[in-house]
């Protein structure tokens, strides 16, 4: 099935959606950064301009100061002639916006332009300048009338202080700064809007794979688990997400498949013995069947019922194991003892089948394990060896220590297992070459899954080697400090 293109809503942004949140955050961060940057730029620009103006005014005041002379009456005069013809013009130009006040705040000299502006310095302002020795001051209101002054102290004939002020009008600078501010303010909403749209598009692009995952997840149903998210090839986190999702679906698919197989297997395994019981019972109920025959039927039915019982018990244990509900009941035990005991027990069966069964045990192999389950495990392996070894064969059950591991090996000279069957014999209900196996013995394919589960319950493992026609060897390794 082909994957439809994911539906991504481009319309109204929901603030609760990830895309909406990303866009909002992006826009907010961008706007705040922009405002801060604009404010910093405005501040820096103002500072640089004022620094330049002040520098220049200072130079001018220093220059003009040299040419101020006092008349015998104590009046300050601009001795422009001392500066030569060029210097004189220059000096007069510098004294364009300038004034000199005495220490009482009386204006003793003022340039015509300053007079024209109607500017006068309050005595309190003068006192403040003199007291603070302020080098630069700004006077005037409103802003268009503002004048920046460089203040310099002159000494009169009797050493009394005079204040020389050389100034410049701030209007052109204030106008330029104001224009800058307006441009910034007008650009702000535009840039915020652009960044909002860009953020939204970026978020949408980034989240497209998420939308694909969502869409794929919507398409997946129990009957359509083959659906996968196509690989983007970008190798980013979202592709990782898609891969994880695909892996999860693959696992789900595998377990659904297992469940289906399991149900089919269980019904098959239940049907065969039930049909046998039904057939035999119907036969026995027919009139004129001798009592001895009825008894035989009942015995045979009992065998089938016993087999069914065993199978259901095993299934129940495996189901509990799957649910992780089974905890091993650990106790100190000796593996040698367990194996010797079981071999003795099975000797009758082995003899009946004409098979030689022997145990090879060595020094004690102490183990902390669930002895009932271990017993079941070894019994299952021995049961298999007996079932699949024809008369005249040999079975050896060996216990040994291997480093920190205890090992039980059940080796037989039986029919062996084909190579293609080996990887599957631990699957539930799997039986290699069923017809042949049936010919030899009845089973339902739950023995080895049980062996594997018990080994794993004790943090151990099972290995198998087998040659078709020559025999098999099953080895269970368990850590001595199991569980």
- Asked if 444 interacts with ligand ATP (CB under 6 A), we say yes
User: Binding to ligand ATP by residue 413, rule CB under 6 A?
Assistant: no
CB count within 10 Å of CB 241 equals: 15
Cβ–Cβ < 8 Å for 65, 164: yes
Q: Which of residues 11-50 bind ligand ATP (CB under 6 A)?
A: none
- Residue 450 main-chain phi, psi, to 5 deg: -65, -40
Q: Using CB under 5 A, pick the residue from 196, 393, 416, 447 that binds Mg ion.
A: 447
CA distances to 54, 55, 68, 84, 320 from 61, in Å: 10, 10, 11, 18, 100
Q: Least Å distance between CB 267 and ligand ATP?
A: 16
**Residue 317 interacts with ligand ATP (CB under 6 A)?**
no
Contact flag: residue 415 with ligand ATP (CB under 6 A): yes
Nearest alpha carbon to residue 381 among 412, 335, 422: 412
Among Mg ion, ligand ATP, none, the one that 417 touches (CB under a kind-dependent 5 to 8 A) is ligand ATP
Of 60-68, 79-87, 112-120, 446-454, the segment contacting ligand ATP by CB under 6 A is 446-454
Would you state the structure tokens that stand for residue 140, as one six-digit string?
A: 């005037």
Which partner, Mg ion, ligand ATP, none, binds residue 328 by CB below 5 to 8 Å per kind? none
Tell me the DSSP string of 417-477.
Answer: --TTTGGGTTSTT--SSHHHHHHH----S-HHHHHHHHHHHTT-EEEEEEETTTEEEEEEE
368, with CB counted inside 10 A (0-12, 13-18, 19+), is middle
Contact characters 359-388, Mg ion, x per CB under 5 A: -------------------------x----
Q: Which stretch binds ligand ATP (CB under 6 A): 51-59, 122-130, 166-174, 407-415?
A: 407-415
Whole-Å CA distances, 10 to 166, 209, 261, 320 = 64, 15, 45, 50
Residue 425 makes contact with ligand ATP by CB under 6 A: yes
105 Cβ contact list (under 8 Å, min separation 6): 121, 122, 123, 124, 126, 127
Question: Judged by CB under 6 A, does residue 277 bind ligand ATP?
Answer: no
Binding of ligand ATP by 475 (CB under 6 A): no
Compare residues 76 and 443 and give the one whose CB is closer to Mg ion. Answer: 443
Instruction: Using CB under 6 A, pick the residue from 448, 454, 457, 482 that binds ligand ATP.
Output: 448
Contacting residues toward ligand ATP, per CB under 6 A: 380, 384-385, 387-388, 412, 414-417, 425, 430-432, 437, 443-448, 472
Binding residues for Mg ion, rule: CB under 5 A, are: 384, 443, 447
């Amino acid at each position: 099935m082909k994957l439809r293109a994911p539906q991504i809503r481009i319309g109204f942004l929901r603030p609760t959606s990830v895309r909406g949140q990303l866009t909002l955050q992006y826009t907010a961060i961008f706007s705040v950064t922009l405002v801060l940057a604009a404010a910093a730029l405005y501040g820096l620009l103002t500072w640089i301009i004022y620094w330049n103006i002040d520098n220049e005014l200072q130079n001018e005041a220093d220059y003009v100061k040299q040419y101020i002379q006092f008349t015998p009456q104590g009046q300050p005069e601009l001795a422009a002639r001392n500066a030569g013809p060029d210097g004189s013009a220059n000096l007069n130009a510098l004294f364009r916006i300038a004034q000199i006040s005495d220490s009482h705040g009386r204006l003793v000299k003022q340039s015509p332009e300053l007079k024209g502006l109607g500017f006068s310095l309050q005595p309190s302002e003068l006192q403040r300048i003199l007291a603070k020795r302020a080098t630069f001051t700004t006077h005037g209101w409103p802003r268009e009338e503002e004048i920046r002054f460089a203040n310099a102290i002159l000494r009169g004939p009797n050493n009394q202080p005079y204040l020389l002020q050389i100034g410049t009008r701030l209007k052109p600078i204030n106008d330029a700064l104001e224009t800058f501010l307006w441009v910034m303010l007008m650009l702000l909403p535009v840039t915020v809007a652009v960044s909002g749209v860009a953020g939204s598009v970026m978020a949408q692009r980034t989240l497209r794979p998420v939308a694909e995952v969502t869409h794929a997840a919507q398409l997946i149903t129990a009957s359509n688990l083959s659906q996968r998210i196509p690989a983007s090839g970008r190798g980013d986190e979202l592709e990782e997400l898609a891969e994880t999702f695909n892996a999860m679906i693959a696992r789900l698919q595998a377990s659904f498949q297992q469940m289906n197989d399991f149900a089919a297997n269980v019904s098959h395994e239940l049907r065969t013995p039930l049909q046998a019981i039904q057939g035999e019972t119907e036969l026995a109920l027919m009139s004129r069947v001798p009592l001895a025959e009825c008894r035989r039927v009942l015995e045979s039915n009992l065998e089938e019922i016993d087999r069914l019982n065993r199978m259901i018990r095993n299934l129940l244990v495996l189901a509990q194991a799957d649910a992780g509900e089974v905890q091993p009941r650990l106790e100190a035990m000796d593996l040698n003892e367990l194996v010797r005991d079981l071999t003795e027990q099975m000797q009758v069966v082995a003899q009946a089948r004409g098979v030689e069964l022997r145990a090879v045990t060595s020094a004690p192999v102490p183990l902390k394990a669930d002895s009932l389950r271990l017993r079941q495990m070894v019994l299952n392996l021995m049961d298999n060896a007996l079932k699949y070894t024809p008369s005249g064969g040999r079975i050896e059950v060996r216990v040994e220590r291997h480093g920190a591991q205890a090992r039980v090996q059940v080796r037989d000279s039986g029919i062996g297992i084909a190579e293609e069957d080996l990887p599957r014999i631990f699957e539930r209900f799997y039986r290699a070459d069923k017809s042949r196996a049936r010919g030899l013995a009845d089973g339902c394919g739950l023995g080895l899954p049980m062996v594997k589960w018990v080994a794993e319950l004790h943090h151990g493992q099972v290995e198998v080697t087998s040659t078709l026609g020559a025999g098999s060897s099953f080895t269970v390794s368990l850590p001595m400090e199991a569980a």
